[in-house]
A and B are shown apart, each in its own frame.
Chain A
Amino acid sequence: MIDALVIAALVATGIAAAFVLRQAWRHPSAARPVLILAGWAAVSALVVIAAIALGSARGPAFAMALIPAGALALVATGVKRREANGRVARSRALEPSLRGAKIWRGIMRTLVAAPLGCVVSLTLGIAWTVWFPSDPQTRIVLGGVLVPVLWAGAMAWALTDDRILRPALTMIALTLAGAALIAIEGF
């Protein structure tokens, strides 16, 4: 029974929060900050309530799935059709930067983003595992969670920075630092 109530509340909150935020977005006024705050406060409160009512792991899982589903459903109701005015609509979005098509730059970026990013994230993940003050299982799992997060960040940086040497050298330095930390402490 509690499950059903919380599930209904999560979906309703996703819809209601998105509705309040959309009102703030559509009608800029003095009440706008209050509406924005109310929307996000409702979401935050319900995540906490879900965690209390459904369990510390189950509650956030429900919230993570149901609030966005509700919000997405509400946003989908706002679909508009662009007017056919005979003109080609112009995008106000920025264009990706043009970097030229030098092959060695592409190879360099790939090497920094993939193998070097993997090595640095693994090294830092293990360094965390070695140094984090906890039981071995927790150290390993948290270190393991860090690996994809760090690798994703490294990948994004390597593919973004116009100066590829900057992320490359930083990652090499971090790998060496992580290896030193591992060597100092041991497992």
Chain B
Amino acid sequence: MAERQRPRAKTIWPRMSAPFVQAVLAGHSSLGLAFAALIYLVCFSGTVAVLVHDFERWEAPVVAPVEAAGPDTAIATARSFLSGHPATEHIFISLPDINSPRTRIYAELHDGEILEGFADTDGTWSGPAQTPWSAFMLGLHIDLHLPHAVGSFVVGMTGVALLSLLISGLLSHPRIFRDAFHIRLGGTKRLQEADLHNRAGIWALPFHIVIALTGALLGLTTLIAGTLALAFFKGDVEQTYALFFPPALEDDTTPAPIPDLEAILADAAARAPGAELRMLRLDHPGETGQSVHVTMGYADKLAFGDSYIYDGNGALFHSEQVSESSLGTRILQTIGPYHFGWFAGWVSKLAYILLGAALTWVTSTGVAIWTARRRSKGHPAPVTERLWAATVWSQPFAYALSALTALVWPGPDPLLVWAIATGLCLGLTVPLGPVALSTGLRAASALLLTVLPLAHVLRHGADYADPVAWVINAGLLASAALIALSLAWRAAPERRTRMA
């Protein structure tokens, strides 16, 4: 009541006419409803994907973190891998960085097989890493596991819709400053959800805009590049991409020795003082047309770094310093770190998880406001209420179940488990109402998230070579506790009567 007696202060927010705000609200509602499930899925999966490097380490905790890595590690890794796989087309060796203290290998063999994994601390390649769940959850965020061109377009369009919702959300909020600090729980469901929706939407707005814009751009890359190619290069997309990639050597499959990698890395280090080796890439190793690509990164830059390419004789034939590269190239190289929060280790990851969860929450409460409004007007939408409750709470459940399955029974594809679990949750909307769905799925999620770390300890033993497994296990237990707390809060007798 005290709030009502407070004198109204002037606001600098432009006064908007009621019909305009109502029209924007109508557009905001219809777009939000149309894309709600997709936006929710992309935001939820994106929040989890921030930790993909750490979940990879959690799935393969037998690989110890690398304390210090440099040119010697990269060379040892290259030799170790190539000795077992002489028919290699390309090999990328990424050295430990702020995101992950592991030496990562990605290789394409002549027969098209792709191998990914981690080297041991001494650079030894001990086989592909078994991290199917991490690959599943990253793929779900990037292209929903649809054919890449289609999936990334859908995700990109979802980013555009999110950006559009941010615009209409701002325009439909004439009390943006007047309500800037109101978070009032209790009362009607609609007012409570509106407060949560608006506060999390406004105070994290810079983050929301950056995530939506970079996500849309990453998703629409194929469309934009394809359109440019149609307009200017007679449909040849390679010519568009070629503007951003260094020139390639002429293909010559005649066998040849691998050039002196020590000398090449020493030369690159001399050319980039203050930088450290980030990536060593060998194209067509062991052939006359081979090349060695060295990336030297700087601690104070988000861009990958300087690029030096050497031919099969070890002679430099192309270089590009990040300080001299075009603005466009530098922007392009910073989009990924900006989108995923991979620029400051745990600090940025934790901030991105908090803010990503806020964005996911904004999506969830948006639909809840719409259904509550319908109900308060005497036009409830019970099917939407059920579907939305199942959509929101199916994801923690399906993610936890797919992770648990991948851990204890590596046979089934995590994507299949996730799809079945999500489908099952949606199927439960037939017999169950929204309260039962929400309560049941929260309880099941909390249970699975509690079992998951215990199963991890049983599966791998408590003597982890990589201690990050403990961090992830603690995070899983904390998530379970949070969900259980939300259940307890929801079950309070006072809320049961007032929020119905």
Residues of A within 8 A of B (CB): 3, 7, 18, 21-22, 25-26, 28, 32, 54-55, 57-58, 61-62, 64-69, 71-72, 75-76, 78-84, 88-89, 91-99, 109, 113-114, 122, 125-126, 129, 134-145, 147-149, 151-153, 155-156, 158-162, 182, 186-187
- Checking B159, B184, B190 against A80 with a beta-carbon cut-off of 8 angstroms, the contacting residue is B184
Contacts A64-B207, A75-B183, A148-B156 given; does A3 touch B344 at CB 8 Å: yes
In angstroms, Cα B341 to Cα A148, docked, is 20
Question: Residues of A contacting B159 with CB < 8 Å?
Answer: 148
- Say yes or no: B220 contacts A147, CB within 8 Å: yes
Contacts A144-B217, A187-B232 given; does A71 touch B27 at CB 8 Å: no
**B352 to A, closest residue via Cβ:** A65
- Say yes or no: B351 contacts A22, CB within 8 Å: no
In angstroms, Cα B204 to Cα A64, docked, is 9
- Say yes or no: B352 contacts A82, CB within 8 Å: no
The smallest C-beta distance from B232 to any residue of chain A, in angstroms, reads 4
In angstroms, Cα B283 to Cα A48, docked, is 41
Question: Residues of A contacting B24 with CB < 8 Å?
Answer: 156, 160
Question: Residues of A contacting B302 with CB < 8 Å?
Answer: 55, 57-58, 61
- Say yes or no: B9 contacts A65, CB within 8 Å: no
- Say yes or no: A72 contacts B327, CB within 8 Å: no
- Say yes or no: B338 contacts A61, CB within 8 Å: yes
The smallest C-beta distance from A99 to any residue of chain B, in angstroms, reads 6
- Say yes or no: A84 contacts B186, CB within 8 Å: yes
* Chain B 160-203: CB-based contact to A (< 8 A → 1; otherwise 0): 11011011100100110100111111111011101000011001
Contacts A97-B26, A147-B224 given; does A81 touch B244 at CB 8 Å: no
Contacts A58-B300, A84-B498 given; does A159 touch B168 at CB 8 Å: yes
Residue among A18, A81, A94 with max Cβ neighbours from chain B (10 Å)? A94
- Say yes or no: A96 contacts B204, CB within 8 Å: no
Please tell me the size bucket of the interface on B.
Answer: 35 or more
In angstroms, Cα B181 to Cα A78, docked, is 7
- Say yes or no: A76 contacts B344, CB within 8 Å: no
Q: Which of B336-373 contact A (CB under 8 A)?
A: 337-338, 341, 343-344, 347-348, 351-352, 354-355, 358, 373
- Say yes or no: B327 contacts A134, CB within 8 Å: yes
The secondary structure that dominates the A interface is helix
- Say yes or no: B7 contacts A153, CB within 8 Å: no
- Say yes or no: B26 contacts A96, CB within 8 Å: yes
In angstroms, Cα B303 to Cα A95, docked, is 46
Given contacts A76-B183, A135-B326, A156-B31, 16 further A-B contacts (CB under 8 A): A21-B180, A25-B180, A25-B181, A68-B355, A75-B181, A79-B183, A84-B494, A96-B26, A122-B224, A138-B329, A144-B220, A152-B160, A153-B164, A155-B164, A159-B26, A187-B232
- Say yes or no: B300 contacts A54, CB within 8 Å: yes
- Say yes or no: B301 contacts A55, CB within 8 Å: yes
- Say yes or no: A156 contacts B27, CB within 8 Å: yes
Question: Residues of A contacting B244 with CB < 8 Å?
Answer: 137
The smallest C-beta distance from A2 to any residue of chain B, in angstroms, reads 9
- Checking A58, A75, A143 against B203 with a beta-carbon cut-off of 8 angstroms, the contacting residue is A75
- Say yes or no: A26 contacts B328, CB within 8 Å: no
Binds A, one of B15-23, B109-117, B395-403, B437-445: B15-23
- Checking B23, B166, B240, B348 against A160 with a beta-carbon cut-off of 8 angstroms, the contacting residue is B23
- Say yes or no: B6 contacts A141, CB within 8 Å: no
Interface check B405, CB cutoff 8 A: no
Question: Residues of A contacting B348 with CB < 8 Å?
Answer: 61-62, 65
- Checking A64, A83, A143 against B206 with a beta-carbon cut-off of 8 angstroms, the contacting residue is A64
The smallest C-beta distance from A71 to any residue of chain B, in angstroms, reads 5
- Say yes or no: B194 contacts A93, CB within 8 Å: yes
In angstroms, Cα B171 to Cα A139, docked, is 30
